[in-house]
Amino acid sequence: MFHQKIFIFEFVSGGGFNQVDIPSSLFCEGYAMLRTIIEDFKNLGFHVTTLLDSRIKFLSHYMKADVIKSVELVEDYLQKYTTCVRNSDFCFVIAPEFSNVLYNLTKVVKENKKKLLSIDLNGVKLGASKLETYKFFIANEINTPKSYNIPFNGRILDLDFILQKFDQLNSSIVIKPDDGVGSELIFYFEKKDEILHFFESSNKITNTNRKYILQEYIEGDPMSVSIINDHRPLEKPVENGPKILSINAQNLQITDPTMDSVYLGGFTPVDQFEQLKAQIENILKGVDLSAFKGYFGIDFVKKVDNSLSFIEINPRLTTSYVGIRNVLEFNPMDLLLTQKKKLQNYKLIPHKFSEFTQIKLKYDGKYTLGEINNLVLPKLINLIPEIITPPIIIEGVNKSQEAFYSCFIATKSNDNQSSKHRISQINQIFSKFDFRITK
């Protein structure tokens, strides 16, 4: 057991958006990761400190941290973050890669010479750029979709370049930010007319300072592999290399360029886990992953012919973690800390099944927002322990019971069928509390 101080920071719920509305989808995932990893480090004996946006401070009741500091709307979250880093022994950072947010927060930890348990600067820098990750895959002879940096024509993305590459690839394409996170601003195109119409009618990416890439679209099942890599070089024996915790299915909605792409969750482990695990281990056995020390994820597509196409590397804790911790027989953070000593005691095979998903709800009852937060949510969470992020309204100024609520759940079942049955029961419980599922 550890008896040292750790500062765990999650950007979205921890004050990173304290000057603007918090995006509900990012919040649900972010808070879910924060709450679960705090619990896992607390179970290892750590004294845990974290930050929480003042607008959601009532959610502190559901967190097992020893110290929860509120970030007010007028405060500089970075100043408070830096103070917490300096007062800790260990730090674990969860943040998006865009605009160098994750890199800069990690840099603060390194500059203060604290023990970093999330991915170090070199891994963050590589994983934060989809184009650099593409080059990394190509250099290691890993199958990956063709990807191109889209040049600018003035302040606008070069439409002629996009159309030219679309013709050359002779396939559907995806356009997305080079430093994007999750399903943010991912646009899918099957036809040239769709591209032309999008650039004529949409202002979402036509006038931007961000770099965008064009990527060949790969048909198949979107998945991710969650890995813990130890702190020793790959030249050492294979038991000291990257360890696959689980392989996860991803529920993505990326089908229409007129609509925002959405990540809805997924489940873990996937069917034929052992076969896929061996396949991925074979692909990675000659790859130098020393830049990624700790927990990280790789997104990939399993094609119809069962071959794999690697898409990107996520140099941080990913949403899948909230399900993975439910299917393993051990605390994954224990493996992160004591891999060499403990590895032989762990069975690296998922023994349960977990579906993790965001749920959108409409409240049709009579309680006010404050009454829901103080009276209804504690009862709901008692009946539905699978709730990780409680139903909450966080976007918009005029908050009322007529608005939409978002929450995040993760089941823990023996198999897919029993998980589906439990989700059906959860839906019925929501209904009894006048919450109607809309998505």
Predicted confidence at residue 255, as pLDDT, reads 66
Rounded Cα distance between 209 and 151, Å, is: 11
35-93 pLDDT, tens digit each: 999 999 999 999 999 999 999 999 999 999 999 999 998 899 999 999 999 999 999 99
End-to-end CA distance of the chain, in Å?
A: 42
Q: Is residue 386 a contact partner of residue 409, using CB atoms and an 8 Å limit? A: yes
Predicted confidence at residue 323, as pLDDT, reads 98
Question: 412: exposed, middle or buried (C-beta count within 10 Å: 0-12, 13-18, 19+)?
Answer: middle
122-161 pLDDT, tens digit each: 999 999 999 999 999 999 999 999 999 999 988 889 999 9
395 confidence band (pLDDT: 50, 70, 90): low
Pair (198, 262) in one structural domain: no
397 confidence band (pLDDT: 50, 70, 90): very low
Pair (66, 12) in one structural domain: yes
Indicate the pairing of strand 5-10 with strand 47-53: parallel
Predicted confidence at residue 130, as pLDDT, reads 96
The structure tokens listed for 168 are 């050359």
Q: Please provide the average confidence, as pLDDT, over all residues in the chain.
A: 90
Predicted confidence at residue 232, as pLDDT, reads 47
Pair (191, 202) in one structural domain: yes
Q: How many CA atoms lie within 13 A of 357 on its CB side?
A: 19
Q: Which residue, 397, 318, 410, 320, is CA-closest to 359?
A: 410
Alpha carbon separation from 64 to 8, 59, 68, 90 (Å, rounded): 12, 11, 9, 17
- Final residue of a structural domain among 181, 198, 216: 216
CATH of the domain at 335: 3.30.470.20
Rounded Cα distance between 387 and 337, Å, is: 27
- Final residue of a structural domain among 315, 345, 375: 345
1-35 pLDDT, tens digit each: 567 999 999 999 999 998 888 887 789 999 999 99
Pair (131, 272) in one structural domain: yes
Q: Taking the alpha carbons of 322, 143, 96, 242 in that order, is the dihedral positive or negative?
A: positive
Q: Is residue 303 a contact partner of residue 218, using CB atoms and an 8 Å limit? A: yes
Whether residue 164 is predicted with pLDDT greater than 60 in this model: the reply is: yes
Rounded Cα distance between 84 and 107, Å, is: 14
Predicted confidence at residue 19, as pLDDT, reads 83
Rounded Cα distance between 77 and 101, Å, is: 12
Alpha carbon separation from 218 to 181, 304, 386 (Å, rounded): 19, 10, 33
Interhelix angle 130-139/121-128, nearest 10 degrees: 100
245 confidence band (pLDDT: 50, 70, 90): very high
Indicate the pairing of strand 404-410 with strand 308-314: unpaired
Q: Which residue, 323, 145, 178, is CA-closest to 251?
A: 323
Predicted confidence at residue 18, as pLDDT, reads 85
The structure tokens listed for 335 are 């493996």
Residue 389: what are its φ and ψ, rounded to 5°?
A: -105, 115
Interhelix angle 159-169/192-201, nearest 10 degrees: 160
Predicted confidence at residue 121, as pLDDT, reads 98
240 confidence band (pLDDT: 50, 70, 90): low
Predicted confidence at residue 295, as pLDDT, reads 96
Q: Is residue 382 a contact partner of residue 390, using CB atoms and an 8 Å limit? A: no
Pair (41, 186) in one structural domain: no
CATH of the domain at 93: 3.40.50.11770
Rounded Cα distance between 8 and 1, Å, is: 18
CA angle in degrees (0–180, nearest 5) for 29-311-328: 50
Pair (189, 264) in one structural domain: no
Q: Determine what percent of the chain is predicted with pLDDT higher than 70.
A: 91
Rounded Cα distance between 406 and 29, Å, is: 10
Pair (252, 131) in one structural domain: yes
Number of domains in the chain: 4
The domain of 312 spans 127-142+219-345
Pair (89, 154) in one structural domain: no
How far from the centroid of its chain's Cα atoms is residue 25's Cα? Answer: 11
Structure-model confidence comparison of residues 261 and 162, the more confident one: 162
Pair (319, 223) in one structural domain: yes
CATH of the domain at 408: 3.30.70
Indicate the pairing of strand 308-314 with strand 294-302: antiparallel
Q: Is residue 99 a contact partner of residue 38, using CB atoms and an 8 Å limit? A: no
199-222 pLDDT, tens digit each: 888 776 765 778 999 999 999 999
CATH of the domain at 177: 3.30.1490
The structure tokens listed for 165 are 């590459």
**Considering the entire predicted model, what is its pTM?**
0.93
Whether residue 195 is predicted with pLDDT greater than 70 in this model: the reply is: yes
Pair (368, 420) in one structural domain: yes
315-366 pLDDT, tens digit each: 999 999 999 999 999 999 998 886 545 555 567 789 999 999 999 999 999 9
Predicted confidence at residue 88, as pLDDT, reads 98
Pair (131, 154) in one structural domain: no
DSSP assignment of 341-353: HHGGG---S--SB
Q: Which residue, 426, 418, 421, 272, is CA-closest to 350?
A: 272
Strand pairing partners for 212?
Answer: 177
Indicate the SS3 state at residue 414.
coil
Pair (226, 102) in one structural domain: no
